[in-house]
Each structure stands twice: as C-alpha cells, then as structure tokens.
Amino acid sequence: MHLENRVLVTGGAGFLGSHLCERLLDAGANVICVDNFFSGTRSNIEHLIGHKRFELIRHDVTMPLFVEVDEIYNLACPASPVHYQRDPVQTTKTSVLGAINMLGLAKRVGAKILQASTSEIYGDPQVHPQPESYWGHVNPIGLRACYDEGKRCAETLFFDYKRQHNLRIKLARIFNTYGPRMHPNDGRVVSNFVVQALLGRDITIYGEGTQTRSFCYVDDLVDGLMRFMAAGDGVFGPINLGNPEEFTIRQLAEQVIALTGSRSRIVHRPIPQDDPHQRRPDISCAHDVLEWAPRTRLSEGLKRTIGYFDALLADRTMHGRLTTAVA
C-alpha cells in the first residue's frame, strides 16, 4: 500500500468495518469512514476520531457520495438477521443502490473497489464445502432474501461494471466472522451464546444444534481483505474468505459454556425459515492466489471475544441493555 493512499470504507463504524479502518491506519493509509449508524455504532470508531489520517462522514450509501479516493471497501449493509430483517426494503436498497453508487464513484475517480459479499449468496447449500463456482440454493421470497438476493444482485452489478466499464473490482464472499465489537444484540450465534453464558441464562439453540458453521476471527478476515485489495488487477474473484474448520452449533455452545465457566443450560427452539444446515468455505483459491489462511483457533478467538463482552457487562448501563435483550 502506498502511504498516500486515500481509502474509503463504507460501513466503517460496524463490527468488521471498524477493525478494517484501524488496520488501514496502521498501514499508513488516509481513511474515510462512512456510516449511517443503522447497525454500526460510534463507540466502535471513537478511539480513531482525532487521528490525523482518519475522517468520519455520516452518510447513507443509498445516496450518491462525492469524494476523491484511490480505493473503496464497500462493507455497508446490516449483516445479522435481526438487523437486516428489521427493515428488509432498506436492506435490499443498501445492497443494490449502495453498490450502484459506490461503483459509480469508483468509475468517476478511477478507484479500485472491493465488495464485501457473503456466504449467504450460497443460501442453504447442496454442495459442501462451498467453492466459488457453486451458484447457490436461495429462496428468493423468504425472510432472508432481502440480504441474500441483495448481495447476489450487488455481485451482478460488480461484474457488469467490470465488463462494461473495465472497472477494477474485487469480490470477497465473507463467511461467519466473530470477535470484539460484535453488536451484543445482533442475534448472531457467537454474540448470543457469549452474552447468555456470561449472564448465566439459558443458551438458545434452534433445532437440534446439528447445523454446522465455520467461524473466522475478525483479525484473520481483515488480513484477507487487505491482501485481496493489494493483489493485482487480474485477481478480482469471487474469492471465499472464512475459516474452513467446521463446528456444529451445539459444539459452539458447549465450548462457550466451558470457556466462561457458566452454569447455563442449553435449550431448544424451532429452527427459523431458510436457516442453512451446512456452511463451510472452500478457501483453496484464497490460499493459492492470496497465500492466505486463518490462523486463530476458535478457542483463542472466543477467549478474546468473551473478554470484550465481559468488559461490556461491567458497564452498568450496557449490563441493563444486555439483560433485557436476552431475558
């Protein structure tokens, strides 16, 4: 990365975006963080405010943005079911109009642009593990479709802009990522289990807990994104980024209980509509092309994540919010 690089991160105050902004600053970039704070929070990037190479803009990517930048990481979109189903129409707009506006910006200023796509584009997969060549198995009218199909449409737009305008694109399909700064009430399995365990509440599993997921620690994921952006223009993806180690949801719950020393019991609830049964990335492409693979084991990443939520619970105000949320 050139030291004078001007980098735009949309969704920069979110869980993943805030870690990316931090790492880009460490690498010497000038960072413009854009967020409308629908699911991102100011507290995630508060420690960066005042940094001479960091700028925060409150803006919704469904509206055009006019800035001069060299690189764009388009991360803007609520990524947890609780958040993206709260306003499904806005979720689709964020994915589709946000992609159009950021691609238009990249075209105007000649910037390289990376799209944060998702493993959700594979839906409830019938191929396991999921390679980039798999087209997916998605319900286009289900409760998750606002996110799944919004991201699929964004992928289409990125490749059409590449073919039609010779735009320099990067398309990353991100699998389950966890770590500090996850939103405590976002309904994602890691944050749910950790908060419930720390409060001594029942840990809620949907179905029998035999569904599998692969959990990538946030530092590893950010490393993958930055390696991808730094790769030559001939490397544009799509590329899966995630941890290929696979765990059942019940195994995750048991590990969280053990690491927290909690007395929480595991209880079962009906499985949500279109919940994928299996999810595991084939990262052969990332390994071969980017020389990337995650290094953080689940037990180590969970310890750091538990430490973060433990500190949140020490805050009386946050403790009240979390207690209400998991009651």
CA R_g for the chain: 19
C-alpha to C-alpha distance for 76 and 60, rounded to whole angstroms: 9
List residues with catalytic annotation: 147
- Mention every residue, 6+ apart, whose C-beta is less than 8 A from residue 1: 24, 27, 28, 29, 226, 230
Using alpha carbons only, what angle is made at residue 119 by residues 57 and 308, rounded to the nearest 5 degrees?
60
Structure tokens at 281: 């990335």
C-alpha to C-alpha distance for 327 and 322, rounded to whole angstroms: 8
Do 63 and 36 contact (CB within 8 A), yes or no? no
C-alpha to C-alpha distance for 95 and 148, rounded to whole angstroms: 10
Letter string b/e over residues 77-86, b meaning 16 or more CB atoms within 10 A of that residue's CB: bbbbbebbbe
Q: In the chain, how many H helices and how many E strands?
A: 11, 13
- Mention every residue, 6+ apart, whose C-beta is less than 8 A from residue 17: 9, 10, 11, 33, 35, 40, 44, 73, 75
- Mention every residue, 6+ apart, whose C-beta is less than 8 A from residue 234: none
